Amino acid sequence: MSLEKVITSVISLGITLTTPLAIAGIGEVISERSGVINLGIDGIMLLGAFLGFHASLVTGNIYIGYLAGLAVGLLMGLILAVFSVSLKLNQAITGMGLYFLGFGLSDFFYRTIYGEREVYLSAPSPISIPIISNIPVVGPSLFQQLDLVYFSYILVIVAWLLIERTRIGLWIRSVGENPKAADAMGINVSLIQYIAVLTGSSLAGLAGAFLSIGITQVFYENLTYGIGFIAIGLVYFGKWSPLRTYLGALIFGLSWSTAISTQSYFNAIGRADLVYFLLAIPYIIITIALVIVSRQARGPKWLGKPYLRE
């Protein structure tokens, strides 16, 4: 295989792996900008992954699978919003509860419906963007991708516009920074937080569905391997900006794909034991990056604090 082909395949896989992380991370950015931390996104992703997988298997239509992911994300977000926005409960505890709920339910449903059977979806085929997909390296790796990869490109821009350039974005920012001031200016703090939390959690559900439908084509227990938590970390890495969050996801995605691509080499030289270490490298890299960058991260001022009117 030529070097160009190797690089192309590593980047291409890297972008694919970046996508669920980026979609969930940007969702978390929107939620956190309104002041609500959603610690349960890994659980939401797991449930989204299972229901997305199941729905597309049953209907034979992956878009119904994606819709199922969005819907379950919305529902889980509603639970979080009721507890942490309306009932003003501790966001960390509510979020962890949500995580375990998603983790347990996804596994329960999977085992109840599929038992020990291993069922696979057929892999969806990538879409080539005419002309630009012919550019060497960049073309095939960025523009011969699955539908949701393109969605993630658009999402970065739309989320940035939404937060920085629209009225609802202005309200979301003001609520996350200083809910008292927003309230005094006649903005419905709870409503804005509901909108932001539900948007964020729906995206997490969609990211989960993409994980099972677009990447693994199969479901098993703890399919996400904790990348929902990585997504939360990426929000800090990205200083609550969609673009920087995407870049963080990209670092993770590329190091992951590099690890996977070199796996066969280690198998060939008879050191398969090193593979597990190799797969841990992306987590190590992202942890180091997080520690370095997050030192001066300054988030929304009311992040994680319930707003109580006096």
Partner 1 sequence: MSSSSCDVVVEMRNIVKKFPGVVANDNVSLKICRGEVLAILGENGAGKTTLMNILYGLYLPDEGSIYINGKRVIHASPKDAIKNGVGMVHQHFTLVDDLTVAENIVLGAEDFKVYYNPGKLIEKIREFMKDIGLYVEPSKKAYELSAGEKQKVEILKALYRRISVLILDEPTSVLSPIEVNELFKTIRRLKEKGISIVFISHKLDEVLEIADRIVVMRAGKIVGELARKDANVRLLASMMIGASGLSSIEEKFEKNTSTGRKLLEVIDLWVKGDRGEDAVKGVRLSVREGEIVGVAGVAGSGQKELAEAIYGLRPVKRGRIMFNEVEITGLPTVERIKLGISYIPEERVRYGVSLELPIYENIYLEKIHSEKSKRGLLEALGVSPLKKRVMLEYAQHVVNKFGVKTPSLTTVAGKLSGGNIQRLIVGRELERGPKLVIASEPTAGLDIAATNFVRRTLVDMSRRGVGVLLISSDLQEVLSLSHKVVVLCNGEVMGVVIPGEASIEDIGLMMTCSKKMSIEEVEKIWAM
Q: Which residue has the tokens 């309230």?
A: 183
Q: Return the residue of 91, 145, 174, 245 that touches partner 1, per CB under 8 A.
A: 174
| Residues in 276-305 that interact with partner 1 by CB under 8 A | 300-301
Between 170 and 260, name the residue whose CB sits nearer to partner 1. 170
Nearest distance, CB of residue 162 and partner 1, angstroms = 10
Nearest distance, CB of residue 157 and partner 1, angstroms = 13
Interaction of residue 309 with partner 1, rule CB under 8 A: no
Beta bridge pairs of residue 128: 144
Nearest distance, CB of residue 303 and partner 1, angstroms = 12
Helix (H, G, I), strand (E, B) or coil at 127: strand
The whole-angstrom separation of Cα 186 and Cα 165 is: 20
Confirm if 250 and 65 have CB atoms less than 8 A apart: no
| Residues in 185-244 that interact with partner 1 by CB under 8 A | 185-187
Between 150 and 239, name the residue whose CB sits nearer to partner 1. 239
Confirm if 25 and 18 have CB atoms less than 8 A apart: no
Confirm if 49 and 106 have CB atoms less than 8 A apart: yes
Query: What's the distance, Cα to Cα, between the start and end of the chain in Å?
Result: 67
Nearest distance, CB of residue 34 and partner 1, angstroms = 13
Q: Return the residue of 158, 181, 191, 284 that touches partner 1, per CB under 8 A.
A: 181
Q: What is the largest CA-CA distance in the chain?
A: 67
The whole-angstrom separation of Cα 125 and Cα 101 is: 33
Nearest distance, CB of residue 245 and partner 1, angstroms = 17
Q: Return the residue of 23, 57, 177, 215 that touches partner 1, per CB under 8 A.
A: 177
Q: Return the residue of 1, 115, 118, 165 that touches partner 1, per CB under 8 A.
A: 165
Q: Return the residue of 3, 131, 154, 184 that touches partner 1, per CB under 8 A.
A: 184
Piece of 1-9, 170-178, 204-212, 258-266 that binds partner 1 (CB under 8 A): 170-178
Nearest distance, CB of residue 168 and partner 1, angstroms = 8
Q: Return the residue of 9, 90, 128, 178 that touches partner 1, per CB under 8 A.
A: 178
Give 3's contacts (C-beta < 8 A, 6+ positions apart): none
Between 67 and 175, name the residue whose CB sits nearer to partner 1. 175
Angle at 150 between CA 51 and CA 146, to 5 degrees: 60
In the structure encoding, which two tokens stand for residue 216, read together?
């693994």
Nearest distance, CB of residue 41 and partner 1, angstroms = 24
Q: Return the residue of 129, 164, 191, 218 that touches partner 1, per CB under 8 A.
A: 164
In the structure encoding, which two tokens stand for residue 260, read together?
């996977």
In the structure encoding, which two tokens stand for residue 123, read together?
């892999």
User: What Cα–Cα distance (Å) separates residue 258 from each residue in 8, 14, 247, 293?
Assistant: 11, 8, 16, 23
Judged by the rule CB under 8 A, the positions of this chain that interact with partner 1 are 161, 164-168, 170-171, 173-174, 177-178, 180-182, 184-187, 300-301
